[in-house]
Amino acid sequence: MPRFAANLSMMFTERPFLDRFAAAAAAGFDAVEFLFPYDFAPEDIGDRLRGNGLTQALFNLPPGDWDAGERGFAARPECFAQVQDGVRAALPYAAATGVKRLHLMAGIAERRDPLAVAAFRKSVAWVAEELGRYGIDTVIEPINPRDVPGYFLNDFTFARDLIAELNHPNLKLQFDIYHCQIVHGDVTMRLREMMPIIGHVQTASVPSRNEPGSGELNDPFLFDELDRLGYRGFVGCEYRPRGGTEDGLGWFALHARPRGARP
């Protein structure tokens, strides 16, 4: 059975952010992820993790002004300094949480622009090398253009090829099942092909991005397939509950290993 991580930016939002850690633990999760921790002190987040016996699976490097539409800097040629500053800002949170993988967001840029491609390649290589000094993986995630129009990294094949080209041991693919189905389809075959480079998996139903099992995909089959492929990482639950978070956790009770069980 997969190791599920509750995404606290989308789940348990009935509560203030710092109270969501306890709610996730009470619901049976032993790991969490979220988009960004930067509105809170690193020690406060670390305390909530330890106090609830939770593992931090993932969070994102700083994206810029999220409310203004910024979605990272890595593919923006003029923003390499912001990429570097973002890593420096994230490291205290990595130390406080013990997280082992950080997501580098590409930003809004034209993927056919050679300057954007070169900027992304440079940023990814630098971040992977820098985070490698701390034993942290860098993950890059293709995102579908329906949810984030204009996002540079919108193709799983492009991400796969870049990871192979750069050949950094701590550079991995963040494979979001929801985004893959929208961009390409054929999720199972892509999981099988890309499993050697996958560092993190996320899930949500398609097309509504609600609880797994409520859309067009056979989510139980995909969870079993992850086991068959030998995936031992986390599966981030990056979905929007249709109602109250706890009311929609029937799928989790069916597919999750008991809290505290060994992988």
Taking each helix axis from N to C end, the angle separating 187-194 and 156-166, rounded to the nearest 10 degrees, works out to 0
CATH assignment of 3-255?
3.20.20.150
**What residues act catalytically?**
141, 238
Q: Any bridge partners for residue 95, and if so which?
A: none
Residue 255 has a pLDDT of 80
Q: Which of 103, 102, 93, 101 is nearest to 46 (CA)?
A: 93
203 neighbors 187 (Cβ within 8 angstroms): no
Give the residue ranges of the chain where pLDDT is below 50.
none
d(CA 256, CA 2): 6
Taking each helix axis from N to C end, the angle separating 187-194 and 219-228, rounded to the nearest 10 degrees, works out to 20
Token pair for 127? 């971040």
* One-letter amino acid of 135: G
d(CA 180, CA 93): 29
CB atoms within 10 A of CB 213: 18
pTM above 0.85, yes or no: yes
What is the percent of the chain where pLDDT is above 70? Answer: 97
Residue 260 has a pLDDT of 60
d(CA 103, CA 179): 15
Residue 261 has a pLDDT of 60
